[in-house]
Amino acid sequence: MSKTEPNTSVNDATKQDEDIDLIALLLTLLRGWKTILVCIFLGLAFGVTYSRYVQPTYQSDALLQIDEQSKGIAALGSNISNLVGTESSPAETERELIMSRMVLEPVVDKLYLNIRVSDPHISKLERITQSTIPNQTSSEKGVFLDTKNGQVHIAEFEVPQAYENRTFNIVKTNKGFELSIGNDELVTKYKGNIGTPTIIDTPEGAINIIVESLPAIGYRINLSKLSKPVAISSLSNSLSVSEKGQKTGIIQLTLSGPDQKQVSRILSNVVQSYVNQNLSRGSEQTTTTIKFMESQIPQLRQKLKQSEEAFNKFREQYGTIDVNQEASLLVSESAAIERQVSELNLKKAELTTYYTSEHPLVIQINDQLSTLEERRTQIKEDISRLPEMQREFLQLSQDMEINREIYLTMLKNYEQLKIARAGEIGYVRIVDMPINTYQAIAPKKMLIWIISSLIGLVFGVLLVLLKSLLRNTVKDPERLEAKTGVPVIAT
């Protein structure tokens, strides 16, 4: 009992000290509430200032559906794509095509995305105080920029390669405009007229520029021409392409930028450029098949004509020859084999536009052709054992029927493909086009304000505790007397 009681007393004293420390800490924070409140206010003010300084970012999206086959080739009635086994979604390939220069370069050229104009007179304070800062917009007519002294409109700007990605200064004058590079007054200033095409000769080559409008006289504007790779890379970095779900064939395109209308306009042109390229690819595949058929049809027509003339000549000379049932079956089988050979040759011509002769699909068709050739040789041997008159009659009749069937089949497929090419729609369908939402995705102002206020709160608490630590005095005389055992007289 004597050992337990002292330990209990020590534990109670320790717990009491901890309670006193927590209470003292709380009292310290309460005494420093003004400091904490000021820090919270400063943090919130910083967050508000930052959220107004950072330019808003808008986003627009579009949806595309990718079919698994081209409609033009399917018009043949035998879909070659069934022979091609694939484990990956077509959307994976199409994603890379959308991000390629083949699709993005026409958009850059059409909307003049490689021309940049900016207003150097906008200060950091104006970025904070003004609700919106004008941004450059681009269209088929050129680039535009609204300033407080008027609008900038550059309809064309072509520079030598040495001047690409460099900043020009353009200023309106009484007689037109002046164009110079950099801020150095020693740099030669080139003059031109507003509203008319201007060709400026420089040591590096000719500069072609069409200036439709500029702000007030003497108001300087920055102008630059990006190189094609830089402009395409800038567009590609702002563009996101992904498949919605697993192998759904639905592709989502997302583009972000500082101007909602500009973002939607650019994305719409990206979608249209991709659809046009897709249509061109499908039409090219169909055209390749049509050209092959056009080269074969005259030859087949001539063979049919020759076989008909030979058969008619034989009948005029010997009349109609009776043949047995076995011989008729041989003729029918031979005609079917020739038809299959013709179809396989057509498929082979299609496949060789994509693959080499070593591809498994091409090898498979070659094996089928070899099998049919062996059977055709065997039929010829069977026919050769018939009486000479029957054999010759069957041979001429067979040639005529086979040539007629091949010619008519080829002609039918040819007409179907011509119709398919005229109505070619590609294998991409636009599900959703971009729309303007006018809802900025960044900066997230409320989140910034909350985080900045919390940072101010934490900083204020730390500041109050630091001040209390540096000014560590005893404020409770009873606690001091209990600790030291010496009577304390406090006033």
What is the model's pLDDT at position 278? Answer: 82
Question: pLDDT class for 10, splitting at 50, 70, 90?
Answer: very low
Is 301 in the same domain as 420?
A: yes
- What pLDDT does 408 receive? 87
3-state secondary structure of 241: strand
Please indicate whether residue 21 or residue 475 has the higher confidence score (pLDDT).
21
314 & 377 share domain:
yes
Tokens of 18: 């901890």
The whole-number pLDDT of residue 426 equals 62
Same domain, 329 and 364: yes
> Residue 229: its pLDDT value, please?
95
Torsion sign over Cα 423, 424, 427, 433: negative
DSSP codes, 28-64:
HHHHTHHHHHHHHHHHHHHHHHHHHHSPPBEEEEEEE
% of residues, the chain, pLDDT over 90 = 40
Is 450 among the domain residues?
yes
Give the range of the structural domain holding residue 147, as residue numbers without chain letter. 115-225
| C-alpha–C-alpha distance, residues 323 and 317, integer Å | 17
Residue 201's DSSP bridge partners are 206
- The pLDDT of residue 471 is above 60: yes
> Could you tell me if 134 and 10 lie in one domain?
no
> Mind listing the pLDDT tens digit for each residue in 353-398?
667 778 888 888 889 889 988 888 887 777 776 677 777 777 777 7
Looking at 196, 225, 254, which one is the last position of a domain?
A: 225
- Label residue 206 by pLDDT band (50, 70, 90): very high
36-40, 69-73, 83-87, 427-431: the lowest-pLDDT one: 83-87
Upper half-sphere CA count for residue 35 (Cβ side, 13 Å): 16
* 198 strand-pairing partners: 209
Structural domain contains residue 246: no
Query: Does residue 196 have a pLDDT over 70?
Result: yes
Looking at 113-117, 159-163, 249-253, 408-412, which range is the least confident one? Answer: 408-412
- Cα separations (Å) of 282 from 73, 249, 417? 9, 18, 12
The pLDDT assigned to 475 comes to 61
The pLDDT of residue 378 is 85
Flag whether 158 is in a domain.
yes
Is residue 160 within 8 Å of residue 204, measured between CB atoms?
yes
pLDDT-derived band of residue 145, with 50, 70 and 90 as boundaries?
very high
Same-domain check for residues 143 and 208? yes
pLDDT over threshold 50, residue 223: yes
CATH code for the domain of 376 = 1.20.58
Q: Are residues 308 and 414 in the same domain?
A: yes
The dihedrals phi and psi of 184, each to the nearest 5 degrees, come to -70, 125
Domain assignment present for 279: no
Q: Are 108 and 99 in contact (CB under 8 A)?
A: no
4-17 core/surface letters (b: 16 or more CB in 10 A; e: else)? eeeeeeeeeeeeee
Residue partners of 457: CB distance under 8 A and separation at least 6: 36, 39, 40, 43
Same-domain pairing of 198 and 311: no
308 with 424, same domain: the answer is yes
Flag whether 286 is in a domain: no
For residue 434, tell me if it sits in a domain: no
Sorting pLDDT into bands at 50, 70 and 90, what band is 108? very high
Number of domains comprising the chain = 3
* Residue 335 pLDDT > 90: no
476 found inside a domain: yes
Instruction: Identify which has the larger pLDDT, 157 or 292.
Output: 157
Query: What is the pTM assigned to this prediction?
Result: 0.65
Residue type, 445: K
Arithmetic mean of pLDDT, 261-275:
95
Same domain, 302 and 364: yes
pLDDT reading at 268 higher than 90? yes
Residue 74 has pLDDT above 60, yes or no: no
> At 77, is the pLDDT very low, low, confident or very high (cuts 50, 70, 90)?
very low
Residues 142 and 192 in one domain: yes
pLDDT over threshold 90, residue 72 = no
From 173, 191, 225, the end of a domain falls on: 225
Look at phi and psi of residue 243 and say left if phi exceeds 0, alpha if psi is from -120 to 50, else beta: beta
| Mean pLDDT computed over every residue of the chain | 82
Has residue 253 been placed in a domain?
no
Measure CA 388 to chain center. Answer: 70
pLDDT band at 78 (very low <50, low <70, confident <90, very high): very low
Residues 246-268, mean pLDDT to the nearest whole number: 93
Look up residue 250 and give its DSSP letter: E
- Note whether 345 and 461 are same-domain residues: no
Asked whether the predicted pLDDT for residue 13 surpasses 50, the reply is no
Asked if 190 and 173 count as a contact pair (C-beta separation under 8 A), the reply is no
Whether residue 314 sits in one domain with residue 424 = yes
**Domain's final residue, options 225, 247, 266:** 225
Instruction: Name the more confident of 127 and 134.
Output: 134
